Amino acid sequence: MIDLDKVRQDPELYQKVCKQKNIDLDIKAFLKTDDERKAVIKEAQEMQTKRNAVSKDVPTMKGAEKERAIKDMKSLGDDLKKVEEKLGKIEATWMTMQLFLPSVPLPSVPVGKDDKSNVETRKEGEPKKFDFKTKDHLMLMKAHGMVDIERGVKISGARSYFLTGDGARLHLAVLQYTMDTLTKKGWKLFMPPLMAARSFFTGTGFFPGSEEQIYAVGNKTAADASITDDELSLIGTSEVSVMSFHADETLEVADLPKKYTGYSTCFRREAGTYGKDTHGLYRIHQFEKVEQVVLCGADQDQALQIFEEIRQNAEDVLQALELPYRILDVCTGDMGRGKVFMQDIETWMPSRDSYGETHSCSYLGDFQTRRLNIKYKDSNGKKQFCHSLNNTCIASPRILIPIIEMYQNEDGSIRVPEVLQSYMGGQKKIG
Q: Which of 115, 175, 102, 47 is CA-nearest to residue 364?
A: 102
Beta carbons of 431 and 143 less than 8 angstroms apart? yes
| Active-site residue (options: 283, 326, 352, 415) | 283
Phi, psi of 69 (to 5 degrees): -65, -40
Q: In whole angstroms, how far apart are CA 425 and each of 121, 170, 428?
A: 38, 11, 9
Q: Give the Cα separation of 115 and 214 in Å (integer).
A: 22
| Active-site residue (options: 244, 360, 388, 396) | 360
| Active-site residue (options: 43, 322, 357, 415) | 357
DSSP output for 132-200: S----HHHHHHHTT-EEHHHHHHHH-TT--EE-THHHHHHHHHHHHHHHHHHHTTPEEE---SEEEHHH
Beta carbons of 372 and 294 less than 8 angstroms apart? no
Q: Give the Cα separation of 104 and 23 in Å (integer).
A: 13
Q: 398 an active-site residue?
A: yes
Q: 357 an active-site residue?
A: yes
Distance, first Cα to last Cα, the chain? 52
Element (H, E) at 10: none
| Active-site residue (options: 159, 169, 198, 268) | 268
Phi, psi of 272 (to 5 degrees): 80, 5
| Active-site residue (options: 362, 388, 398, 405) | 398
Active centre residues (catalytic):
268, 283, 357, 360, 398
